[in-house]
């Protein structure tokens, strides 16, 4: 695209060129010279084509017309230049199209102006070369003698030297070839000669006519000397004949010259065509130039025709009128009042009559001739009228074609404007197209990137899936490993003698559901319990964690091995700790529908005894006590026995806790034991609190001793299974108990806090353990830090309402887990057993009382 600066530069160059040309001392540029040569040649050819171009008035008029045109074009050019100046100054960036069109207008105007200048120069040169008319009358016809050679000279001057050089201007070199120009000049010469011949012929014809008419005139004016006139008439006829002969010769000459002209014209056209082939054409300009030249030529021809026809018409009219006068004169009788025919009839002689008849015949012949002439002239008049009608039609056609041309030009201009607008639109659309193409390529690039990213993403997704699967497998195996590790750790701890702690979560009861629902307690794995609270989530590790859906059977399966240990001679203690209503009694004792650990253990002991009956004989006995308000109560005491009979807690030599004074009843079978158990449970004190409809108000102690004697070697093992259902730890305000129950609760809490102290000092591995602070801790002396295998159930409530108590219970249980017992099997061989029995009997016999556990400790 053309930049505005470039356009400005071009404009400046043009302006400079114009100002140089428009100035007084004009320097002919190369292009102007070229135009002048070419155009001058074409223009001269046009002039040559036009036969009457040499009329001085016509030349004058043509020059003035061209000058007016030039002035108009100069004005237009000024306006366009002004527009360019404004455009250059203002918004040229956004109107390059308009600028471009203005520049093209300027260049067009330049060429038009230079063409006009050239034309004017040529016309002026020709005019100058023409001789000035010597008389005042206008020289309408170019046939005046001497014009052609002069004008030809002018042509030669123009063609060979160019127009008369203006002062300060060098004559342009003659560019048309003489070979090209010579035919044109010859053609012109031929034309001039032709016209000359034609004019001579016309002159002769006119002379002949005027001679004829003057002869007649003479006859008319002197009717008396008709015979004398016939002589003149004869001479005239001779002259006419001579002139006719001359005219025949001239006609032949004319025909010859016309042929030469046709040949030369053909040659000129040929040369012209050859020349035009070499000139690069501007079709639009060429068409308009040709149109205007054709139109001008047609107009000139028509004007010429019109003019000649009019002159002919006037001539004929004149002839007609003169012929009419002559005719009327001939028809009138001579002076004397008698017609020549009547005079001959009445009084003249034969000679006079003959003379009269000859005269009549002559008259008749004249009349006939004149009538024929009149007829011919009428025909010619008709012809002239037809010609003038044709002329008018031609003029109308000319007008019509002119108006058509104007319309076409207007239409062309409007189309041009439309074209400009369309060009602008096209440019806008092309820009838009380019922009859209850029956008499209960008979008395509992005799409390619996107699809490659998608491919990468799908790869990543599949990789992620694989990794997730791997991670899941790893997590599973980790969990398995952890569980196993915990299991092994617990087994190791058990082997080391650690107290085992099982946690059991009971289901949410209906009242609890109404009171606020479940606390955020979560069982992460079979060994871990997570409890959320105000202080965040806390995690507790136990030997087992049982969720709310764990069955009683499942619980027993986990403790069955301990039951078996008691058969093997170990002291085994299974106790249940937790707040009231957390499920201690349910776990240890259960009910008929869901029997707890105790009834299942009883059955299992007898099953084991039965299974080992071949090797060992088992003696199973039981005692069942209640620790109520820090007082031991024998629940199996026979009816009628004193309820306040003092029961004492003692330790035997091996450190096993025994309760002296308590009934130790042997059991034959499991049913018997179950019966005793039910009796004891029935005797236990319970009370309804807000926490529990039948809350245990005492600690229950069930002891089952197993003495197994080997049938093989007589070895005796003594095991003991203690089941301890502790009373619930609770806050008095929460449980809503009455005065008695408050006293019970105080006693329970006191014993439980003594238990907590023992647990703390055992966990801290302190040397002094305060077992004696409570009967409960004394009862549990062998189970906590003693020689027993101990398992503690910590029962917790799932309710949000009990969350604080739940956390307290769990903290205590965690501490219990750190306590280590040193479990040992209670086994004696046969001899030791025999000796022990002897000693015991002797002791009974000498009635030597053994001091109680308290007395011994105090001592
Ligand atoms: P605690 O002895 O600790 O005071 P209980 O054993 O008397 O509590 O239980 C209170 C209530 O909860 C009882 O009605 C009992 O049946 C019920 N319960 C306790 N644990 C469970 C459990 N695991 N499954 C079903 N019910 C239970
Ligand atoms: Mg209970």
The CA 583 to ligand 1 mean position distance, Å, reads 4
Q: Which atom of ligand 1 is nearest to the CA of 576?
A: 3
pLDDT of residue 833: 73
List CB contacts of 725: < 8 A, sequence separation 6 or more: 575, 576, 584, 585, 588, 589, 696, 699, 700, 702
Residue 330 CA to its chain's centroid (Å): 110
- Report the distance separating Cα 356 and Cα 195, nearest Å: 49
Ligand 1: residue of 586, 593, 813 to mutate (most ligand atoms within 8 A of CB) is: 586
pLDDT of residue 686: 66
| CA nearest ligand 1 atom 9, residue | 583
- Report the distance separating Cα 457 and Cα 52, nearest Å: 95
Confidence band for 677, pLDDT divided at 50, 70 and 90: very high
Q: Which of 208-212, 536-540, 669-673, 827-831 has the lowest mean pLDDT?
A: 208-212
- Report the distance separating Cα 445 and Cα 452, nearest Å: 11
Q: How does pLDDT run across 369-383, given as a tens digit for each residue?
A: 888 988 998 898 898
The CA 193 to ligand 1 mean position distance, Å, reads 154
| CA nearest ligand 1 atom 16, residue | 586
| Strand residue runs (E) in 668-763 | 686-687, 695-696, 699-710, 716-725
Ligand 1: residue of 523, 581, 587, 727 to mutate (most ligand atoms within 8 A of CB) is: 581
Q: How does pLDDT run across 97-154, given as a tens digit for each residue?
A: 777 788 888 888 888 888 888 888 877 877 776 655 444 433 334 433 434 444 555 5
Residue 460 has pLDDT above 90, yes or no: yes
- Tell me which of 341 and 585 has the higher pLDDT: 585
Q: Which atom of ligand 1 is nearest to the CA of 693?
A: 14
- Tell me which of 686 and 199 has the higher pLDDT: 199
The CA 643 to ligand 2 mean position distance, Å, reads 23
The answer, yes or no, to whether any atom of ligand 1 lies below 6 A from the CB of 163, is no
Q: How does pLDDT run across 833-853, given as a tens digit for each residue?
A: 777 778 878 877 775 444 444
- CA dihedral defined by 440, 446, 447, 449, rounded to 10 degrees? 150
Ligand 1: residue of 504, 505, 506, 546 to mutate (most ligand atoms within 8 A of CB) is: 506
Q: How does pLDDT run across 345-364, given as a tens digit for each residue?
A: 444 444 555 666 788 888 88
> What are the C-alpha distances in Å from 519 to residues 321, 515, 544, 545, 689?
149, 11, 20, 16, 22
The answer, yes or no, to whether any atom of ligand 1 lies below 6 A from the CB of 798, is no
**Is residue 506 a contact partner of residue 519, using CB atoms and an 8 Å limit?**
no
* Planar angle of CA 83, 88, 92, nearest 5 degrees: 105
The CA 585 to ligand 2 mean position distance, Å, reads 4
> What are the C-alpha distances in Å from 401 to residues 65, 286, 299, 528?
21, 19, 12, 115
């Amino acid at each position: 695209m053309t930049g505005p600066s470039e356009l400005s530069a071009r404009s400046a160059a043009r302006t400079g060129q114009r100002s140089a040309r428009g100035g007084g001392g004009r320097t002919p540029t190369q292009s102007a010279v070229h135009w002048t040569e070419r155009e001058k040649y074409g223009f001269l050819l046009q002039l040559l084509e036009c036969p009457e171009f040499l009329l001085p008035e016509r030349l004058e008029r043509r020059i003035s017309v061209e000058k007016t045109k030039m002035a108009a074009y100069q004005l237009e050019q000024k306006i366009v230049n002004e527009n360019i100046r404004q455009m250059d100054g203002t918004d040229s960036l956004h109107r390059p199209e308009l600028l471009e069109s203005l520049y093209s207008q300027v260049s067009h105007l330049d060429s038009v102006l230079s063409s006009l200048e050239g034309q004017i120069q040529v016309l002026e040169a020709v005019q100058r070369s023409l001789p000035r008319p010597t008389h005042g009358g206008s020289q309408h016809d170019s046939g005046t003698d001497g014009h052609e050679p002069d004008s030809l000279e002018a042509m030669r001057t123009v063609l060979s030297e160019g127009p008369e050089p203006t002062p300060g201007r060098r004559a342009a070199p003659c560019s048309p070839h003489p070979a090209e120009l010579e035919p044109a000049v010859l053609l012109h010469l031929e034309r001039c000669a032709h016209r000359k011949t034609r004019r001579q012929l016309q002159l002769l014809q006119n002379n002949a006519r005027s001679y004829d008419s003057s002869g007649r005139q003479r006859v008319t004016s002197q009717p008396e000397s008709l015979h004398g006139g016939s002589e003149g008439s004869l001479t005239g006829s001779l002259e006419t004949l001579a002139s006719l002969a001359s005219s025949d010769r001239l006609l032949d000459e004319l025909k010859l010259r016309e042929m030469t002209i046709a040949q030369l014209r053909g040659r000129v056209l040929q040369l012209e065509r050859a020349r035009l082939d070499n000139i690069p054409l501007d079709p639009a300009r060429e068409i308009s130039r040709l149109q205007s030249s054709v139109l001008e030529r047609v107009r000139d021809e028509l004007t010429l025709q019109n003019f000649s026809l009019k002159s002919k018409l006037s001539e004929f009219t004149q002839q007609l009128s003169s012929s009419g006068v002559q005719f009327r004169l001939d028809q009138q009788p001579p002076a004397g009042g008698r017609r020549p025919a009547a005079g001959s009839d009445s009084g003249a002689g034969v000679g006079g009559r003959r003379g009269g008849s000859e005269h009549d015949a002559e008259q008749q012949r004249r009349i006939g001739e004149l009538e024929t002439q009149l007829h011919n002239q009428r025909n010619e008049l008709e012809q002239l009228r037809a010609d003038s009608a044709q002329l008018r039609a031609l003029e109308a056609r000319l007008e019509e074609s002119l108006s058509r041309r104007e319309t076409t030009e207007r239409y062309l201009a409007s189309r041009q404007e439309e074209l400009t607008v369309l060009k602008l639109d096209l440019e806008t659309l092309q820009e838009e197209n380019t922009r859209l193409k850029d956008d499209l390529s960008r979008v395509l690039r992005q799409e390619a990137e996107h699809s490659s990213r998608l491919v990468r993403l799908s790869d990543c997704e599949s990789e992620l899936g694989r990794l997730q699967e791997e991670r899941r497998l790893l997590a599973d195996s980790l969990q398995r490993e952890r569980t196993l590790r915990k299991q092994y750790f617990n087994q190791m701890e058990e082997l080391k003698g650690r107290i085992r702690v099982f946690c059991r979560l009971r289901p949410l009861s209906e009242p609890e559901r109404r009171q606020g629902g479940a606390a955020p307690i979560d069982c992460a794995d079979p060994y871990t319990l997570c409890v959320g609270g105000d202080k965040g989530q806390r995690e507790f590790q136990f030997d087992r964690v049982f969720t709310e859906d764990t069955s009683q059977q499942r619980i027993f399966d986990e403790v069955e091995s301990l039951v078996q240990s008691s058969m093997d001679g170990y002291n085994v203690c299974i106790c249940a700790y937790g707040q009231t209503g957390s499920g201690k009694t349910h776990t240890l004792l259960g009910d008929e529908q869901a029997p707890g650990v105790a009834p299942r253990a009883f059955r299992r002991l007898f099953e084991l005894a039965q299974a080992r009956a071949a090797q060992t004989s088992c003696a199973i006995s039981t005692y069942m006590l209640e620790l109520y308000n820090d007082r031991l109560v024998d629940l199996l005491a026979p009816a009628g026995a004193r309820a306040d009979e003092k029961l004492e807690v003692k330790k035997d030599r091996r450190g096993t806790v025994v309760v002296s004074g308590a009934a130790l009843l042997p059991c034959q079978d499991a049913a018997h034991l179950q019966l005793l158990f039910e009796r004891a449970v029935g005797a236990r004190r319970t009370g309804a609190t807000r926490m529990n409809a039948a809350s245990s108000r005492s600690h229950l102690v069930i002891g089952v001793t197993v003495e197994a004697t080997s049938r093989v070697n007589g070895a005796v093992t003594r095991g003991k299974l203690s089941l301890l259902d502790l009373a619930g730890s609770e806050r008095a305000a929460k449980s809503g108990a009455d005065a008695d129950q408050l006293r019970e609760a105080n006693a329970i809490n006191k014993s439980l806090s003594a238990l907590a102290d023992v647990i703390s000092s055992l966990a801290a591995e302190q040397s002094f353990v305060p077992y004696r602070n409570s009967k409960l801790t004394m009862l549990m002396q062998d189970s906590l830090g003693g020689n027993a295998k101990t398992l503690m159930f910590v029962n917790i409530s799932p309710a949000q309402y009990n969350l604080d108590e739940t956390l307290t219970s769990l903290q205590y249980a965690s501490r219990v887990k750190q306590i280590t017992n040193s479990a040992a099997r209670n086994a004696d061989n046969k001899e030791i057993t025999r000796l022990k029995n002897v000693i015991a009997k002797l002791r009974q016999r000498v009635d030597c009382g053994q001091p109680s556990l308290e007395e011994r400790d105090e001592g």
